[in-house]
Amino acid sequence: MDRAELTAALEAMLVTAGAPLSAAAAAEALGEPTLGAAEVGEVLEAIARAWDREDSGLRAEKVADGWRCVTPAQLDSYLRALHGVTARQRLSQPALEVLAIVAHRQPVTLPEINFIRGANSASVLRTLLERRLLRLAGRKKVVGKPFLYRTSKEFLIHFGLERAEDLPDPEELLKEESAAID
């Protein structure tokens, strides 16, 4: 398989994949024994650079240990009109607070979340679990053995992150905010 055919095949995979496409999964799907994940990864990065143009309607974005095809934000209104989407599903303020706590303190228990928020978060947590933005991560080895919660792969995809560690440090954001006010 030459480079042009490989690029075309990977572009087609990106456009049609229902979930982030890892280089290893793409290499396996191509069925070329001499083609490794590293070479496929290089071509995926080249596709991302090629699609990263102002006049392009597609972008390749690295999220959740894989690549996905996305569209630029400025084309949102056209796509909403085409697909008949009138309203966005937004996360509530309590849901965003719980997500932030879990993302920065994971693994974390419900009592710890409640303590930080100063409010009962059980129903919000249940909703985030149903939406698959959070996942169970076992039980804490303390009296009562409460469940531990972590962010999920869906969380990474939803927020366009490759890893949870890519989140900004809250203390740095506060420093930047106070510096901007001064």
Q: Higher confidence at residue 174 or residue 156?
A: 156
- C-alpha 28/C-alpha 36 separation (Å) is 8
Instruction: Cite the beta strand spans of 32-167 per DSSP E.
Output: 59-63, 66-70, 108-109, 134-139, 147-151
- C-alpha 55/C-alpha 58 separation (Å) is 9
Model confidence at 182, pLDDT cuts 50, 70, 90, reads low
User: In the chain, which residues fall in CATH 1.10.10.10?
Assistant: 3-82, 101-181
Class of domain 101-181: mainly alpha
Give the CATH fold of the 3-82 domain. Arc Repressor Mutant, subunit A (1.10.10)
Taking CA atoms, 158 is separated from 67, 120, 134, 164, in Å, by 13, 25, 11, 12
- Express each pLDDT in 52-101 by its tens digit: 999 999 999 999 889 999 999 899 989 989 988 877 778 999 999 999 99
- C-alpha 122/C-alpha 128 separation (Å) is 10
- Express each pLDDT in 114-163 by its tens digit: 999 999 999 999 999 999 999 999 999 999 999 999 999 999 988 888 88
Model confidence at 47, pLDDT cuts 50, 70, 90, reads very high
- pTM attached to this predicted model: 0.73
Q: Higher confidence at residue 181 or residue 49?
A: 49
- Express each pLDDT in 91-111 by its tens digit: 999 999 999 999 999 999 999
